[in-house]
Amino acid sequence: MSSTPPKQQLAIPQGDPKKVTKRQIKKHVDELDLPDKAKLKAIAIKYDVKKDRAPRIVATGKASVAEEILRIAEENQVPFYEDKTLAEMLSKLEFDSEVPAELYAIIAEVLAFVYQLDKLAKKKNEIKRKQKETRR
Domains of the chain, with CATH numbers? Answer: 7-135 (3.40.1690.10)
Confidence bin at 24 (pLDDT 50/70/90):
low
pTM above 0.75, yes or no: no
Share of the chain above pLDDT 90, in %: 15
pLDDT mean across residues, the chain: 79
The amino acid at 8: Q
For the segment 58-73, what is each residue's pLDDT rounded down to a tens digit? 999 988 898 899 889 8
Confidence (pLDDT) at 4 = 41
- Residue 24 · residue 81 · CB < 8 Å: yes
- Please compute the mean of the pLDDT values over residues 42-46 and round it to a whole number: 91
Half-sphere exposure of 40 (CA within 13 A, CB side): 21
For the segment 80-131, what is each residue's pLDDT rounded down to a tens digit? 888 888 888 898 999 999 999 888 888 888 888 778 877 888 888 888 888 8
Beta strand ranges found along 32-129 (DSSP E): 41-48, 56-62, 80-81
Buried b (16+ CB within 10 A) or exposed e, 42-55: bbbbbbeeeeeeeb
Q: How far apart are CA 11 and CA 55, in angstroms?
A: 12
DSSP state of 83: -
